[in-house]
Every structure is written in structure tokens, then in C-alpha cells.
Amino acid sequence: MPSKSTSRKSKGGKENERFSFPAVPKNCVVTGGTGFVGRRLVEMLVERGAEKVVAFDISPKPLDVVDDDNDAKKDSKRIVWMQGDLRKLSDVKKAIKGADCVWHIAALVGPYHEKEMYEQVNHVGTKNVIEAMKFHGVTKCVMSSSPSTRFDGNDINGLREDELDFPKVFLQEYAESKARGEKAMMKENNNKDFFSVAVAPHQVYGPRDYLFLHNFLLNAKRLRIFGDGENLISACFVDNYCHGLILGERALYPDSPALGKFYICTDGEPIKLWEMIDNAFVRLGFRSLKTKFGLPGWGFMMPLAKACDVVGYVLGKKFKLTPFSVRMLLINRYFDISNAKRDLNYEPIYSYDDAWEITMDWFEKEWMPKHAPEVEVPTKKGGNAKKR
């Protein structure tokens, strides 16, 4: 178990300093290294002692990354921002050369892309990572997976990963392509010169989140609670998830119980999804969802979503309201992470309360001025709102 000492700094800065951690490989590669999870993983690998981290992504180096000679920025000199396409084997080979371990985070996410694109990035792209690793003799890969690869549409009430299986029919193209990629990567385990493990978060959040809370906040004025608002989920702070990914590498050795396995990392106890969203709204100065009339879930929103699917098919376009998205807002989705604790020695390094405060501070300081400058953010302990 890590031993305790302060706390995570600023929006993406130093990780929780209350803990000491085991060493990480000297030379690391992170695919998807400019994304939400990938970028934080790159930073944490450097913070834990990596000498070189290649951040490989189809997107260029983030604009807010500053390289200079100040001691405060010395960590950035160990990061190599490499732009390339996961679908091009030559690009992947260039990125992976010399790596001690690859963290394969890159993926095409969201429901609005063409089916072939999901296949090319999430499946073929993963096979390119495998081929590049073999070409260069790289023996370790920690693959970022998703619990959605095991979703069949029913409630998940505290199940372990080994109690989940790939469904006969996938609920979305993203999940199906991710499952294909995961199967390909896990199949390569030979307990000799190729070791891999799949580690997933559930409902990851934190500073620089432009996927989960971002989209709810953008729709704050029109959003309503779907159903009774009592459905439970597991959530995972981005630092907790990256910690789990780093521990995944430690579990890649001959005869490890983690080889070829699938694990889920969360913050621990389940929370109410709609309460989490409403807490963000109130904390940042938006109208509470609890003051608005709710929308019947299965009897109204689901039929409406199915109608949107039909209209979208006829018009050749995709609407944001889909049966999958409605289902995810209505069902329970929480997990028992005892397998990750046992095999990866995983424990969250941030409590949900601490992680939430860090997240809300970032949204207040960084997100609100750009996306909702007209909204007054309340002070934390009452008093006057912060006028922008």
C-alpha cells in the first residue's frame, strides 16, 4: 500500500504527494497522449520518474504546454510530443521504438462517427500497436478498455469483472470495436515475450474533462432528470484511473494472475448519477436539476430516442439523443473492484470528495470563463457570487 504525505496541484500539475509509489519504466509510450486520460497519464509517468515519455496522438502538442528552462517546467523536457496516425503502421512503429512499455490509450470514442472509422482506429489501430511492439521487441502493453464492452443493456449491480462477459449483441459500434481490439491484444499473451492487460475506468472525470461533465454543463439550461434520478454508478477520478494503468505495468511478469485479464478501476463506493450532475450544476452556479420537472425515462425518453433513430436513419444523420444514451442515464452501472485490488494492488489515491473538489476548482477557473462567462459562480462558503 502507498504511504501517506499533500495533495494534487492545479489543473493538471503534480499528482497527490501524500503517497510514495513504485518505480515506473524509464522509457514509456502513451498512445492517445494528448487526450483527457492520455495526457494525465503522460504527466504522472514523468512525475513518478520516467526518463522519457512519448505522447503519440493524431492531435498536435497541446497549446497550453510550455517548454522552457525553468525548474518548474523541467518535467516537460522528458515528454516527446509525437503526432501520428494510429491507422498507419509506420507512424506507430516510429512512436514505439525503444519503449519499455506501451500504454495503449488512443481510441475513437462517442456515438457520432462512421462504423468503419471505429473499426480502423479501435481494432486495426490496436493490431498496429501489436505489430509495432513485435517489430521492436517491446514486451509490455497496458491497454485502456471500457466497461461498455461488457454492457448488454441491463443493470449492473456490483458485479466483478470476471462476472461480466462480452454480449452477444453490442449496444454501440464503439463498444464492439473496442472489444475486438481488446481481444486481439489479450490474445497475444504468451507468458514469455509478450505481456498485456486491459484496465478500464468507469465514468472518468477530472480537470480537462471535455467528455462527461462538459457535455452535461453545455446543456444545463434544457437538461432534466431522466426517470426517478436514483440510479447508481461507479465513477473514477482521472488520477485514480491513471494510477491503475500504471499499476497494470507492474503486473506484467511471467505467471502473473493479471495476464490477459480485464480490470475496472473506480473511486470505490457507488454514487447517484443525477446527484453528481446536480452537484456540479449547483457548485458552478447553474439552476439545480431538482427544481425542474423530471422526464419519464422508459415511458417517454426511450420511445423518443428510438423515434430519433428512425428519423436519423431516413435523413442520413445521427442525433445526440439515442436509445443507448438514454439507457445509460437510467440504469445502474456500478462495480465490485476487488479483483483490481487483489491482482493490481489497486486502491484509489484520492477520495471521491477530494477528487470532486479538485475537479470543480478546475471547472470554475478554466471551464466557466470560456463556456459560461455569464453565469455567476457561488462562493464555496456562502456569501456573494463571483461575478465574471
Between β-strands 236-237 and 333-335, what pairing exists: parallel, antiparallel or unpaired? unpaired
**205-222 pLDDT, tens digit each:** 999 999 999 999 999 999
- Counting residues of the chain whose pLDDT is more than 90, the rounded percentage is 82
Say if CB 12 and CB 206 are below 8 A apart. no
Phi, psi for 57 (deg, rounded to 5): -160, 155
At residue 384, the pLDDT reads: 45
pLDDT number for residue 73: 53
pLDDT tens digits for range 221-274: 999 999 999 999 999 999 999 999 999 999 999 999 999 999 999 999 999 999
The answer to whether residue 345 sits within a structural domain is yes
**How many angstroms separate the CA atoms of 251 and 142, rounded?**
10
| 3-class DSSP assignment, residue 334 | strand
Coil, helix or strand for 89?
helix
What are the Cα distances from residue 151, in Å, to 30, 112, 146, 160?
Answer: 26, 19, 10, 13
How far, rounded to the nearest angstrom, does the alpha carbon of residue 34 sit from its chain's CA centroid? 13
Distance CA 291, CA 224 (A): 10
Q: Which domain holds residue 135?
A: 27-204+235-268+335-349
C-alpha torsion sign, points 152, 199, 126, 140: negative
Contacting residues for 148 by C-beta, under 8 A, at least 6 apart: 171, 172, 174, 175, 178
Mean per-residue pLDDT over the chain, rounded: 91
Q: Is residue 153 part of a domain?
A: yes
| DSSP state, residue 379 | P
- First-to-last alpha carbon distance for the chain, in angstroms, is 44
What is the total count of domains within the chain?
Answer: 1
Count of other CB atoms within 10 angstroms of residue 117: 13
Residue 163 located in a structural domain: yes
pLDDT for residue 7 = 36
User: Which position has the higher pLDDT, 110 or 26?
Assistant: 26
Cα–Cα distance measured from residue 174 to residue 158, given in angstroms and rounded to the nearest whole number: 24
Q: Is the pLDDT score of 89 beyond 80?
A: yes
The average pLDDT across 47-57 equals 97
Residue 118 pLDDT > 80: yes
**CATH number for position 260:** 3.40.50.720
Read off the pLDDT of each residue in 277-289 and give the average, rounded to a whole number.
Answer: 97
Span 346-356, pLDDT tens digits: 999 999 999 99
**Range in 194-198, 230-234, 324-328 with the lowest mean pLDDT:** 324-328
Distances (CA, A) of 387 to 188, 209, 372, 379: 56, 24, 12, 10
H or E element in which residue 244 lies: helix 238-250
Q: Give 9's pLDDT tier (boundaries 50, 70, 90).
A: very low
Please say whether the dihedral angle defined by the alpha carbons of residues 36, 205, 236 and 161, taken in this order, is positive or negative: negative
Could you report the per-residue pLDDT of 289-306, keeping only the tens digit for each? 999 999 999 999 999 999
pLDDT at 361: 97
Are 28 and 53 within 8 A, CB to CB?
Answer: yes
| Angle, alpha carbons 381-384-388 (nearest 5°) | 115
Q: pLDDT confidence of 51, banded at 50, 70, 90? A: very high
Confidence of residue 381 (pLDDT cuts 50, 70, 90): low
Q: Does 319 map to a domain? A: no
241 with 272: CB under 8 angstroms? no
**Could you tell me if residue 178 is inside a domain?**
yes
Q: Where are the beta strands (DSSP E) in 60-155?
A: 79-83, 101-104, 140-144
Q: What is the pLDDT of residues 266-280, one digit of tens each?
A: 999 999 999 999 999
Q: How confident is the model at residue 13 (pLDDT cuts 50, 70, 90)?
A: very low
Q: 368, 375 in Cβ contact below 8 A? A: yes
Q: Is residue 211 part of a domain?
A: no
In a domain, 41, yes or no: yes
Residue 115's pLDDT is 86
Longest dimension (CA), the chain: 63
* pLDDT confidence of residue 319: 82
Q: Are strands 195-201 and 27-31 parallel, antiparallel or unpaired?
A: unpaired
Assigned domain for 21 exists: no
